[in-house]
Amino acid sequence: MTAGSRKNPPNNVPNVTSTEDIKILLSVINSIDIDELALLTKKFKAAANPVEKIIILAEHTSLVETIKNNKI
């Protein structure tokens, strides 16, 4: 059996990101406090049980709401 020449698949899918997608992404980036997100992540990982995780999420309600509303 001989190997034929390898062809690149046709590139029929356009690699275009809509302006609206970029605007949404920038809005999300601008609305999230990265330091608060890092703190939330650190606390959440360190939580020993589900109750502690719920308490941590409640402490960071505004960040959680921002993430939820922006559908990250």
pLDDT in tens, 15-46: 566 888 888 777 777 777 888 889 999 999 99
Domain contains 68: yes
Contact 38, 22 (CB under 8 A): no
pLDDT of the residue at 68: 82
Domain contains 7: no
Q: Where is pLDDT greater, at 71 or 65?
A: 65
Domain contains 51: yes
pLDDT of the residue at 41: 92
Domain contains 56: yes
Dihedral of the alpha carbons of 32, 35, 41, 43, in degrees to the nearest 10 = -130
Tally of domains within the chain: 1
Domain contains 13: no
Q: Determine the Cα–Cα distance for residues 68 and 56; give it in Å rounded to an integer.
A: 16
Domain contains 11: no
Domain residues for the domain of 72 are 33-72
